[in-house]
Chain A
Amino acid sequence: MNDHTHESHDHHHEESFIRKYIFSLDHKMIGKQFLIFGLIMFMVGGGLALLFRWQLAWPDRPLPIIGFSKTYQETGEVATDADRKWEERFDDDKETWLETNMPGGVIDPAFYNSLFTMHATIMVFFVVVPLLVGAFGNFLIPLMIGTRDMAFPVLNMLSFWSNMLGGLIMMAGFFVPGGHAAAGWTGYAPLSSVAEYSGVDWGQNLWCISLIVMGISSLMGSINYITTIINMRAPGMTYFRLPLVIWSLFIVAILLLLAFPVVASALALILFDRMAGTSFFIAAGGGEPLLWQHLFWFFAHPEVYILILPGMGMASEMLPVFARKPVFGYKSMVFAMIAIAFLSWIVWGHHMFQSGMNPALGASFMTTTMLIAVPSAIKTFNWLGTLHRASIRFTVPMLNTLAFVSMFVIGGLSGIYMANSPVDIFIHDTYYIVAHIHYVVFGGSVFAIFGGIFYWFPKMFGRHMNATLGKIHFWITFLAFNGVFFPMHIIGVGGHMRRIANPMQYEYLQPLQPINVFITICAFILGVAQILLLINVFWSIFRGKVAEQNPWQANTLEWHAPTPVPHGNFGAIPQVYHGPYEYSVPGAETDWTPQTQPNGESLHGEPIPVGASAD
């Protein structure tokens, strides 16, 4: 063999701090880096949400602490008249950052737009993807397929650091003149492609550049994941013995690989429009505004499944462990994920029903979109099937997983309303969509992340997280989450548009305002609850109860590795004998049968029947 393009000659040296914690080549350390990065960004993204939730509940009331400025105290009032802003946007003699963005302590409408734009951008690209794909992908793939590291460790390190760089560029946008990108996370042209329309100058450029950098990062990640999963599985680890989370990450890597370049090309076109005088998206110059939407959604729809598939995989991992039962319908779970991934390429138009594209396309996009309910149904019912005749342990990961299943169903079902194009005429761009977004990404992905953190923490850090604190965090989060996002369905049905800074400007929305207040209060509770999570994570890294090798009595290979996992993961590369979900096998003496346990052998030499999923 002669394919060693990567250098890792100093692996066995005693490593310096920098080598070990910063520019580490070890997939486990890189996974942890992504984890910490993602959690910090989660606080940032959530903090931004809290800021604009304040404005939504009490429009034009100064923010606490920041807000009690001189102007407010003198006049008791703040004008938020758009015309005045229009003039001011182009004034050069601006005051401080706070005065520009929050005159009188009140969030300026332009700043409001930056806030939700960055909230969404950060949450999607710098929280959920780094956590699900970066953290869990890196940590789990080599361990669960039974190999010593990723195929290209250097590429892996670069992937993290370019992700970090992307994050820094994104954050820098807050501090450039003109403010940060304010065209929504969807960045619709021509608002995003002409500086005069939004008043945002470098903010939008940095947004584009950051996403391109981020795309390169995930490109490197995908190449690594795909190569590793195809080529480096332990002996006996056939495709249909892969744990479902590995399947999901494999599929996601392919989606990322093929989706991101498309938006990268579109982002480049936006940059050309902004900086080189082209007019790809400007109608007056012969351009086509809808082109951006097509390119963006062609990417972004697969992107939203990138956000959920690893969550589904992780749920399918935790459910069997805590139900002590094989996952129901392993193969159909795999094919359902493949079907979701495949369908995700042909439904992007459902975001564009009202965009002015040819209405004939609406009909076909409606049908393909609804079809996604079918593989999703397969997944949902299989999760339910896994619980049938189980023996359920309500550990913290399990609670979060059960929340994942039920909340994903709500989010998925609200998707059916929107997939229906006539109904979407009314609910498009209302809070109904916002409710949907958060039920799938928070109720789905984020709960799966919470569960995953608890579940794999003992392997990652060699210590347990505190279960009591975990349960408190779970219940507050679960209740507050529903308090925040369920009422959004209601105001959405009432016609409440998204992306508006001040609902009180609309007469027909004023009766709904108390609901907004309720939502905001719940959002603050939700935010406080996340502090518990942070405390739990960081406290447990240093102080948690020391974990044994296989605390959950699970089958997959990561639990076969010693804790803490040494460099190179395994003593000898394990041999795999059967599928990952052999729980409660009749006749076996324990209710779990690790993948490394040979078929037909138990400690007593009795033959162990192994079912269909074991190949």
Chain B
Amino acid sequence: MKWLNFPAWLPENVSTFGQGVDNLFILIYWITSIVFLAVMAVLIFFIIKYRFQEGRKAEYIEGSTTLEIIWTAATTVIVFGLAMLSLPQWNKIKFPSQFPGNPGAVVQVNGKQFNWDMTYPGPDGEWGTDDDLQLENQLHVPVNEVVHIRLTSDDVIHSFFVPQLRLKQDALPGRFINMWFEATKPGQYEIPCAELCGFGHSGMLGYLTVHTEEDYAAWMSERWSE
């Protein structure tokens, strides 16, 4: 039944690290489903078996240290293992020192009520020069190449979210936050803002266009044709 199969509802994944996130999701899905089903099975079994019946008394049981130790230890092992397993994935996505180098594109993204401003540094690779290119709500990147993004905000906190990339990061005013991704499939994806930022929060929407290599080159030369 699709309703109970959470992972089936995930949007298509188009980033290199997305599969790692999905795998963790699926792993937790299995752990929690099993735990849940086990708890429910026991609960329902007890409810039925030990329902009030004429002539049968409850038993005086105060507890069991052995059981107590078993489930404490088991839970500790599971959650601790899970945490350890997840750390590398987290570091890979969020630690600037672990970002892959040689980006195919570097863009500054500015959140502001209620738009995303994308600023390309242009051929000289520096922001704040004449050849900068600023686009509203349009982010163009090449496929299968690392993209570095410098995220900031002009006013309140926004959140850069591309569901298909499994990437989300709040944009803070007065601070630059670096992030990266590598898209694996050309196409257009929505960039909703995921942090409440005022009455225009709903509908604050940008578009990420992932180009094939040729398309991207064409797009580039169109912009910086001189």
Interface size on A, residues (CB 8 A): 103
A417-B199 contact in complex given A197-B113, A330-B62, A381-B67, C-beta closer than 8 Å? no
Q: Which of B21, B36, B72, B197 contacts A422 (CB 8 A)?
A: B21
Q: Which of A110, A389, A413, A417 contacts B59 (CB 8 A)?
A: A389
CB distance from A231 to the nearest CB of B (A): 29
Which B residues are CB-close (under 8 A) to A505?
202-203, 205
Which B residues are CB-close (under 8 A) to A110?
198-199
Q: Is A425's CB under 8 angstroms from B21's CB?
A: yes
- A217, CB-defined interface residue at 8 Å: no
CB distance from B102 to the nearest CB of A (A): 22
A65 to B72, CA, bound (A): 55
A198 to B89, CA, bound (A): 36
A325-B61 contact in complex given A113-B199, A384-B43, C-beta closer than 8 Å? yes
A384-B42 contact in complex given A289-B172, A391-B53, C-beta closer than 8 Å? yes
Which A residues are CB-close (under 8 A) to B189?
508
CB contact list, A288-324 vs B, under 8 A: 289-290, 323-324
Q: Is B192's CB under 8 angstroms from A497's CB?
A: yes
CB contact list, A324-354 vs B, under 8 A: 324-326, 328-332, 354
Which B residues are CB-close (under 8 A) to A429?
159, 161, 168, 194-195
Which 10 A-B pairs give the minimum distances between C-beta atoms? Answer: A283-B174, A82-B200, A110-B199, A495-B163, A329-B63, A370-B79, A500-B202, A359-B94, A501-B202, A391-B58
Q: Is B51's CB under 8 angstroms from A392's CB?
A: yes
- A416, CB-defined interface residue at 8 Å: yes
A-B contacts counted at CB < 8 A amount to: 296
Per-residue B-contact encoding for A180-209, CB less than 8 Å = 1, 0 else: 001110001011001001110000000000
Q: Is B196's CB under 8 angstroms from A493's CB?
A: no
Per-residue B-contact encoding for A368-384, CB less than 8 Å = 1, 0 else: 00110110011011101
Q: Is A392's CB under 8 angstroms from B64's CB?
A: no
Q: Is A362's CB under 8 angstroms from B94's CB?
A: yes
- B90, CB-defined interface residue at 8 Å: yes
Per-residue B-contact encoding for A502-516, CB less than 8 Å = 1, 0 else: 100111100000000
- B35, CB-defined interface residue at 8 Å: yes
Q: Show 26 residue pairs from A and B whose CB-CB distance is below 8 angstroms, ordered by the A residue.
A: A108-B199, A113-B198, A191-B197, A284-B173, A329-B62, A330-B62, A374-B79, A377-B75, A384-B43, A387-B47, A388-B61, A389-B59, A391-B56, A392-B51, A406-B39, A413-B36, A416-B28, A417-B25, A422-B20, A426-B166, A426-B168, A428-B194, A493-B7, A495-B163, A502-B203, A508-B163
Q: Is B200's CB under 8 angstroms from A109's CB?
A: yes
Interface size on B, residues (CB 8 A): 87
Q: Is A393's CB under 8 angstroms from B52's CB?
A: yes
Which A residues are CB-close (under 8 A) to B75?
373-374, 377
Which A residues are CB-close (under 8 A) to B90?
359, 362-363, 366, 421-422
Q: Is B25's CB under 8 angstroms from A423's CB?
A: yes
- A177, CB-defined interface residue at 8 Å: no
A356-B169 contact in complex given A390-B50, A402-B43, A409-B36, C-beta closer than 8 Å? yes
A487 to B197, CA, bound (A): 26
A394 to B205, CA, bound (A): 51
CB distance from A241 to the nearest CB of B (A): 14
- A420, CB-defined interface residue at 8 Å: yes
Q: Is A402's CB under 8 angstroms from B47's CB?
A: yes
Query: Smallest CB-CB separation from A432: which chain B residue?
Result: B6
Which B residues are CB-close (under 8 A) to A28?
none
Which A residues are CB-close (under 8 A) to B7?
493
Which A residues are CB-close (under 8 A) to B10?
426, 493-494
Q: Is B83's CB under 8 angstroms from A366's CB?
A: yes
- A598, CB-defined interface residue at 8 Å: no
Q: Is B79's CB under 8 angstroms from A191's CB?
A: no
Which A residues are CB-close (under 8 A) to B47?
387, 392, 402
Per-residue A-contact encoding for B58-81, CB less than 8 Å = 1, 0 else: 111111100110011001100110
Segment at the B interface, from A258-266, A449-457, A541-549, A580-588: A580-588
A423-B60 contact in complex given A374-B75, A428-B194, C-beta closer than 8 Å? no
Which B residues are CB-close (under 8 A) to A329?
62-64, 68
CB contact list, A259-275 vs B, under 8 A: none
- B11, CB-defined interface residue at 8 Å: yes
CB distance from A113 to the nearest CB of B (A): 6
CB distance from B59 to the nearest CB of A (A): 4
Interface centre among B7, B25, B155, B170 (most CB of A within 10 A): B170
Q: Is A283's CB under 8 angstroms from B173's CB?
A: yes
Which A residues are CB-close (under 8 A) to B53?
391
A429 to B204, CA, bound (A): 15
Q: Is B163's CB under 8 angstroms from A426's CB?
A: yes
A356-B177 contact in complex given A387-B46, A428-B194, C-beta closer than 8 Å? yes
CB contact list, B97-112 vs A, under 8 A: none
- A600, CB-defined interface residue at 8 Å: no
Q: Is B25's CB under 8 angstroms from A426's CB?
A: yes
Which B residues are CB-close (under 8 A) to A466?
none
Which B residues are CB-close (under 8 A) to A392?
46-47, 50-52
A326-B163 contact in complex given A89-B199, A389-B50, A417-B28, C-beta closer than 8 Å? no
Q: Which of B43, B155, B194 contacts A405 (CB 8 A)?
A: B43
- A538, CB-defined interface residue at 8 Å: no
Which B residues are CB-close (under 8 A) to A394?
51-52
CB distance from A453 to the nearest CB of B (A): 22
- B157, CB-defined interface residue at 8 Å: yes
A110 to B203, CA, bound (A): 12
A500 to B63, CA, bound (A): 48
A109 to B114, CA, bound (A): 13
Which A residues are CB-close (under 8 A) to B224?
none
Q: Which of B42, B58, B177, B194 contacts A324 (CB 8 A)?
A: B58
Q: Which of B28, B80, B169 contacts A423 (CB 8 A)?
A: B28
Q: Which of A282, A367, A406 contacts B40 (CB 8 A)?
A: A406
Q: Which of A190, A506, A591 contacts B57 (CB 8 A)?
A: A591
Which B residues are CB-close (under 8 A) to A360?
95
CB contact list, A478-507 vs B, under 8 A: 487, 489-491, 493-495, 497, 499-502, 505-507
CB distance from B36 to the nearest CB of A (A): 6
Q: Is A390's CB under 8 angstroms from B46's CB?
A: yes
- A227, CB-defined interface residue at 8 Å: no
Which A residues are CB-close (under 8 A) to B51?
391-392, 394
Q: Which of A359, A491, A501 contacts B91 (CB 8 A)?
A: A359
Query: Smallest CB-CB separation from A391: which chain B residue?
Result: B58
- A529, CB-defined interface residue at 8 Å: no
A367-B200 contact in complex given A326-B62, A390-B50, C-beta closer than 8 Å? no
Which A residues are CB-close (under 8 A) to B185?
none
- B24, CB-defined interface residue at 8 Å: yes
A385 to B28, CA, bound (A): 25
CB distance from B9 to the nearest CB of A (A): 4
Q: Is A494's CB under 8 angstroms from B60's CB?
A: no
Q: Is B11's CB under 8 angstroms from A494's CB?
A: yes
A82-B199 contact in complex given A190-B173, A426-B21, C-beta closer than 8 Å? yes
CB contact list, A74-112 vs B, under 8 A: 82, 85-86, 89, 108-110, 112
Query: Smallest CB-CB separation from A368: which chain B residue?
Result: B83
Q: Is B62's CB under 8 angstroms from A611's CB?
A: yes
- A612, CB-defined interface residue at 8 Å: yes
Which B residues are CB-close (under 8 A) to A507?
190
CB distance from A206 to the nearest CB of B (A): 18
Which A residues are CB-close (under 8 A) to B205?
505-506
A374-B61 contact in complex given A191-B157, A392-B51, A507-B190, C-beta closer than 8 Å? no
CB contact list, B1-58 vs A, under 8 A: 3, 6-7, 9-11, 20-21, 24-25, 28-29, 31-32, 35-36, 39-40, 42-43, 46-47, 50-53, 56-58
